[in-house]
């Protein structure tokens, strides 16, 4: 076939242009010539011109003026012109262009052309860019071609039908009978097209799927033929007979066998045969094995077959080829939830993949490793994960850090280990952790009271080494401020003693304050810490006083405000300073994942000021009563500090603070333990809404060592009482009280009968269901009122 | 389930062939080409042939100076797609005889015609190498004879 000379000459001219500008010039000239030619009457070179235009289009230059020419060429009787015209239509027209509708008629005519190659052009174009209207128009034609034509056209019609069904779902019904009959064809191309079409029909419509289930035996036969047949030169690829068709049939079997015992049973033998007989030395064999494994894991296969499939994946993990390892991990990720133990066996190999050079493999290995962490392997896994974190590519750092935190929170074997791990992460990847890490870590530290000394020493040393990681610096400053006395004492059993003088500590804090690397939030932390040290050290209080007064004229408004207030604390309110800056009690744990307000640093800093209460110096006498909510915003509390005791801090966090004072709020009553068995506890708290109405909140918690699922509560009350149960917060209770389930029950007792409630607790523990009933006779605080 | 697109480009980032199996605007197409090309060209040699970009899987393979790159949906079989790319290269090789990038540059429309005999709507159309070659030969012959026929003077 002689190449198009004008086209090649133009391509040569464009390629010989030495600069972008020169190239643009050549192209502009050529386009002008092409435009002129388009306007002329029919000459022999039309197809060459359009081809030139298409080349220019591929280089990225605009070519929309060629759209009408495409339409004209498609209508031409010459095959050469039709060919280029259709190619142009596929490249320049898409369903969004108006011109595409103009070719519908040409396509319709060409579909019934006497020459099959013309028919195939039309089919191809329709399948590539046919819009919904065109598809609706031409669907009957395609159906006709599916039934009565040669195999060349049938296979193209089949894929064209696939496109139509994707565009217009309702037309699927039209093709079902034809698709069914195509399965008995011998030609592989037609068979392949038929299988693709059936897959599409089944995915769109579940009823169609039911009807096609009957074809499973036929499909199994075809597959068997392919797997067991001898060498067929036409379809052979490295010893596998027609892998494309095999993979497609496996996909269809997967769809038909899903959730269906009968169909799955009939494919078991075949799948086992394919899994064992397929040669896995080349990629093509592995492709078929991969599809087989996916199918086995998705249908209701028998356990022996499932084990075989997971073993194949295990073999894949050890393969030298990176691609194979990558897809093995992708598949294992899908089943790690259901076949957890099977995947655990390969944990070693997966962890090794963390060290692979390739970024894609690393990412997969990280996700899978995080999913495999459990209470038994937490120490060894964490070692590997931390090692990974220190050398991992930057785009994976944030994900790795948050994964490590979650794992540490769920499975930490000891508090010291937990703190150590979090510190390690902050030192390695402090810039990539989420904002709530800082308050979470601080809360964790306050909870571990015996480790305060160890923690503050460790943080101080880390601070000396590096002050660029903001999260780490924030936590370190907070700890130095809070536990400065322990730091200065110098002796600590858990770590080597280091002599820290007051000047050293203040130097460290001042470095943070002055460094340009510190963010404004961090400097806020450092300033507050410096202030707190004023009550924990003896000699250098003047130095602190001078630092604080300098920052009173700082250009940063937040720092300035703090400094001014601390100054006031030194001057007018010096008698209160010791109390205000006293050691903070343990911060109560919020529910996991709870973000404590918008700002991170500021929130924690203001906790000492929240000690201000309505009208009384409660903080001096009852420090134990106070719960510090870290989401207390700075505003009103700060005012409170300045103006003394007159303004109460309850303004914004009103209800929360007043809660603790017990008797102040009569409507809210303290929770009562209603049920305690097998590690499951149910507490009950009531709130009177009206004279006859009552809202009961049931809170369930699980302190045993195993997770509970399908946790449900049912309630029954005396006849005249109306009961309405709201939706529960969840239905799973993880072990060791990591999360609770709450459910509200609204009661209405218009007849004021004696209120009793029977509650049935049901849940599943390790696969076996459990049920119990408890009767609640007394509701806290209700006595004679209700 | 089908492929979303097929791109061929050189190491210098010049596009040699683009086939789109989903309707996208010109701007969207340009964006996809830019992003995917950047991702693939940045990969070191001997890395894994699979990438993740937005919500699609990208499978690519380098043959001499050309990258063959395709985008797949989530449930597709990546290993089979590598075979599909390989099959396309084999078909080009059979047609052009020891194909190289220049063949594809100067005869781009033939590369498209071959592709259209092998894939349609993002799915494999014909699984036999021989059948595709035969169709191409016949179509080319038809083109020639039609041309000759049309150019023959009518007496």
Which pLDDT tens digit goes with each residue over A303-331? Answer: 888 888 988 998 998 888 889 999 998 88
| CB-CB under 8 Å, B18 with A78 | no
| CB-CB under 8 Å, B130 with A162 | no
- Phi then psi for residue A357, to 5 deg, are -75, -30
pLDDT > 90: percent of chain A = 20
Question: Which is more confidently placed, A110 or A670?
Answer: A110
Match 């999360």 to its residue by tokens.
A739
Distance from the B68 Cα atom to the nearest Cα atom in chain A, whole angstroms: 16
* Residues from chain A contacting residue B24 (CB–CB below 8 Å): 94
- Decide if pLDDT at A593 tops 50: no
Cβ–Cβ < 8 Å for A94, A130 = no
User: Can you tell me the distance from the alpha carbon of A180 to that of A172, in angstroms, rounded to the nearest whole number?
Assistant: 12
Distance from the A284 Cα atom to the nearest Cα atom in chain B, whole angstroms: 7
Q: What is the pLDDT of residue A589?
A: 66
Q: What is the pLDDT of residue A230?
A: 73
Question: Which is more confidently placed, A127 or A2?
Answer: A127
- Decide if pLDDT at B49 tops 60: yes
Q: Which two tokens stand for residue B95?
A: 């047609």
User: Can you tell me the distance from the alpha carbon of A330 to that of A649, in angstroms, rounded to the nearest whole number?
Assistant: 53
Q: H/E element holding A294? A: helix A283-298
Match 């280029």 to its residue by tokens.
A84
- Decide if pLDDT at A617 tops 50: no
Note whether A365 contacts B: Cβ–Cβ < 8 A.
no
Note whether B12 contacts A: Cβ–Cβ < 8 A.
no
User: Can you tell me the distance from the alpha carbon of A100 to that of B70, in angstroms, rounded to the nearest whole number?
Assistant: 26
Q: Which long-range contacts (CB under 8 A, 24 or more apart) does B62-65 make?
A: B63/B89, B64/B100, B64/B101, B65/B10, B65/B11, B65/B100, B65/B101
pLDDT > 70: percent of chain B = 93
- Phi then psi for residue A201, to 5 deg, are -65, -40
In a 13 Å sphere around the CA of A135, the CA atoms on its Cβ side amount to 24
- Decide if pLDDT at A201 tops 60: yes
- Decide if pLDDT at A781 tops 80: no
Cβ–Cβ < 8 Å for A747, A722 = yes
Q: Summarize pLDDT for A689-740 with one digit per residue, the tens.
A: 777 788 888 888 888 878 888 888 888 888 788 888 888 888 888 877 777 8
3-class SS of residue A711? strand
User: Can you tell me the distance from the alpha carbon of A128 to that of A480, in angstroms, rounded to the nearest whole number?
Assistant: 68
Cβ–Cβ < 8 Å for A558, A524 = yes
Note whether A200 contacts B: Cβ–Cβ < 8 A.
yes
Average pLDDT over every residue of B18-45:
91
CB pairs under 8 A between A and B: 158
Q: Which two tokens stand for residue B131?
A: 């059948």
Q: Helix (H) and strand (E) counts for chain A?
A: 36, 10
User: Can you tell me the distance from the alpha carbon of A69 to that of A175, in angstroms, rounded to the nearest whole number?
Assistant: 34
Note whether B134 contacts A: Cβ–Cβ < 8 A.
no
Cβ–Cβ < 8 Å for A525, A478 = yes
3-class SS of residue A492? coil
Cβ–Cβ < 8 Å for A724, A745 = yes
| CB-CB under 8 Å, B127 with A188 | yes
Average pLDDT, chain A: 81
Cβ–Cβ < 8 Å for A764, A709 = yes
- Decide if pLDDT at A612 tops 60: no
Q: Which of A238, A336, A332 is nearest to A287 (CA)?
A: A238
User: Can you tell me the distance from the alpha carbon of A172 to that of B120, in angstroms, rounded to the nearest whole number?
Assistant: 19
Q: H/E element holding A380? A: helix A378-391
User: Can you tell me the distance from the alpha carbon of B95 to that of B132, in angstroms, rounded to the nearest whole number?
Assistant: 10
Q: Which two tokens stand for residue A479?
A: 């700890």
Q: How confident is the model at residue B151 (pLDDT cuts 50, 70, 90)?
A: low
Interface test with A, best of B123, B129, B133 (most A CBs within 10 A): B123
Note whether A76 contacts B: Cβ–Cβ < 8 A.
no
User: Can you tell me the distance from the alpha carbon of B139 to that of B114, in angstroms, rounded to the nearest whole number?
Assistant: 10
pTM greater than the 0.80 cutoff: no
- Phi then psi for residue A516, to 5 deg, are -80, -10
Interface confidence, given as ipTM, is 0.93
Note whether A316 contacts B: Cβ–Cβ < 8 A.
no
3-class SS of residue A695? strand
- Decide if pLDDT at A605 tops 60: no
Q: A774: buried, middle or exposed (CB in 10 Å: 19+, 13-18, 0-12)?
A: middle
- Decide if pLDDT at A242 tops 70: yes
Cβ–Cβ < 8 Å for A460, A476 = yes
First to last CA, chain A: 98
Note whether A235 contacts B: Cβ–Cβ < 8 A.
yes
């Amino acid at each position: 076939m002689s190449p198009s000379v004008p086209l090649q000459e133009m391509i040569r001219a464009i390629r010989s242009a030495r600069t972008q500008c020169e190239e643009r010039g050549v192209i502009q000239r050529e386009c002008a010539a092409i435009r002129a030619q388009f306007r002329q009457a029919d000459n022999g070179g039309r197809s060459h011109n359009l081809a030139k235009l298409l080349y220019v289009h591929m280089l990225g230059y605009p070519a929309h003026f060629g759209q009408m020419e495409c339409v004209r060429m498609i209508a031409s009787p010459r095959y050469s012109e039709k060919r280029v015209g259709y190619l142009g239509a596929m490249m320049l027209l898409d369903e969004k262009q108006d011109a595409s509708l103009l070719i519908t008629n040409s396509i319709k005519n060409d579909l019934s052309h006497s020459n099959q190659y013309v028919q195939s052009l039309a089919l191809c174009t329709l399948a590539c860019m046919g819009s919904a209207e065109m598809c609706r128009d031409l669907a009957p034609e395609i159906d006709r071609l599916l039934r009565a034509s040669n195999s060349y056209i049938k296979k193209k019609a089949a894929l064209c039908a696939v496109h139509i069904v994707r565009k217009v779902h309702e037309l699927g019904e039209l093709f079902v009978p034809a698709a069914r009959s195509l399965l008995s064809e011998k030609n592989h191309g037609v068979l392949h097209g038929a299988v693709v079409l059936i897959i599409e029909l089944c995915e769109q419509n579940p009823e169609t799927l039911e009807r096609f289930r009957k074809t499973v035996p036929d499909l199994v036969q075809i597959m068997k033929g392919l797997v067991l047949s001898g060498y067929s030169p036409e379809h052979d690829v490295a010893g596998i007979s027609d892998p494309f068709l095999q993979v497609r049939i496996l996909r269809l079997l997967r769809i038909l066998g899903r959730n269906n015992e009968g169909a799955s049973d009939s494919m078991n033998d075949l799948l086992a045969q394919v899994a064992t007989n397929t040669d896995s030395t080349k990629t093509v064999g592995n492709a078929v094995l991969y599809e087989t494994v996916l199918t086995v894991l998705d249908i209701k296969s028998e356990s022996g077959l499932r084990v075989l499939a997971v073993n194949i994946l295990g073999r894949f993990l050890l393969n030298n080829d990176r691609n194979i390892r990558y897809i093995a991990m992708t598949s294992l990720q899908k089943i790690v939830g259901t076949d957890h133990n099977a995947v655990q066996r390969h944990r070693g190999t997966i962890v090794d993949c963390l060290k692979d050079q390739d970024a894609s493999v690393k990412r997969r290995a990280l996700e899978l490793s995080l999913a495999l962490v459990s209470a038994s392997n937490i120490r060894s896994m964490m070692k590997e994960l931390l090692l990974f974190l220190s050398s991992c590519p930057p785009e994976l750092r944030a994900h790795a850090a948050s994964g490590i935190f979650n794992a540490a929170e769920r499975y930490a074997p000891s508090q010291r280990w937990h703190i150590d791990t979090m510190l390690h992460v902050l030192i390695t990847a402090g810039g990539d952790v989420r904002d709530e890490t800082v308050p979470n870590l601080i809360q964790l530290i306050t909870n571990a009271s015996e480790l305060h000394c160890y923690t503050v020493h460790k943080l101080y040393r880390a601070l000396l080494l590096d002050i660029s990681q903001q999260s780490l610096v924030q936590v370190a400053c907070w700890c130095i401020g809070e536990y400065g006395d322990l730091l200065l004492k110098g002796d600590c059993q858990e770590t080597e003693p280091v002599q820290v003088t007051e000047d050293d500590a203040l130097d460290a804090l001042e470095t943070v304050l002055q460094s340009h690397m510190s963010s404004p939030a961090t400097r806020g932390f450092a300033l507050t810490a410096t202030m707190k040290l004023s009550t924990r050290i003896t000699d250098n209080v003047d130095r602190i006083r001078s630092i604080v007064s300098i920052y009173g004229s700082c250009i940063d408004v937040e720092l300035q405000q703090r400094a001014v207030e601390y100054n006031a604390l030194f001057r007018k309110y010096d008698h209160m300073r010791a109390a205000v800056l006293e050691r903070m009690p343990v911060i109560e744990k919020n529910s996991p994942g709870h973000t404590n307000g918008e700002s991170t640093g500021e929130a924690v800093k203001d906790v000492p000021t929240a000690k201000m209460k309505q009208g009384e110096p409660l903080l001096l006498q009852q420090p134990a009563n106070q719960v510090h909510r870290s989401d207390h915003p700075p505003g009103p509390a700060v005012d409170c500090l300045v103006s003394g005791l007159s303004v109460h801090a309850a303004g914004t966090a009103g209800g929360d603070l007043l809660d603790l004072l017990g008797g102040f709020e009569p409507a809210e009553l303290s929770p009562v333990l209603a049920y305690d068995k097998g590690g499951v506890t149910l507490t009950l708290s009531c709130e009177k809404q009206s004279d006859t109405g009552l809202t009961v909140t049931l809170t369930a918690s699980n302190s045993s060592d195993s997770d509970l699922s399908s946790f449900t509560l049912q309630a029954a009350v005396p006849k005249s009482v109306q009961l309405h149960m709201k939706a529960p917060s969840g239905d799973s209770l993880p072990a060791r009280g990591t999360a609770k389930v709450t459910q509200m029950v609204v009661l209405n007792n218009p007849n004021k009968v004696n209120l009793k409630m029977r509650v049935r607790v049901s849940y599943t523990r390790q696969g076996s269901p459990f049920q119990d009933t408890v009767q609640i006779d007394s509701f806290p605080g209700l006595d004679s009122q209700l | 389930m089908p492929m979303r697109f097929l791109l061929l480009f050189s190491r210098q980032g010049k596009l040699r062939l683009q086939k789109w199996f989903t309707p996208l605007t010109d701007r969207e197409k340009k964006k996809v080409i830019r992003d995917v090309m950047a991702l693939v060209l940045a990969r070191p040699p001997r890395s894994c042939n699979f990438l993740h970009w937005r919500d699609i899987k990208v499978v690519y393979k380098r043959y001499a100076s050309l990258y063959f790159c395709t985008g797949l949906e989530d449930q597709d079989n990546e290993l089979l797609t590598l075979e599909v790319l390989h099959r396309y290269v084999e078909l080009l090789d059979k047609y052009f005889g020891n194909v190289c990038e220049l063949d594809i540059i100067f005869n781009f429309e033939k590369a498209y015609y071959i592709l259209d005999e092998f894939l349609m709507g993002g799915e494999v159309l014909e699984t036999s190498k021989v059948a595709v070659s035969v169709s191409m030969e016949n179509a080319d012959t038809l083109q020639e004879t039609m041309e000759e026929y049309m150019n023959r003077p009518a007496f």
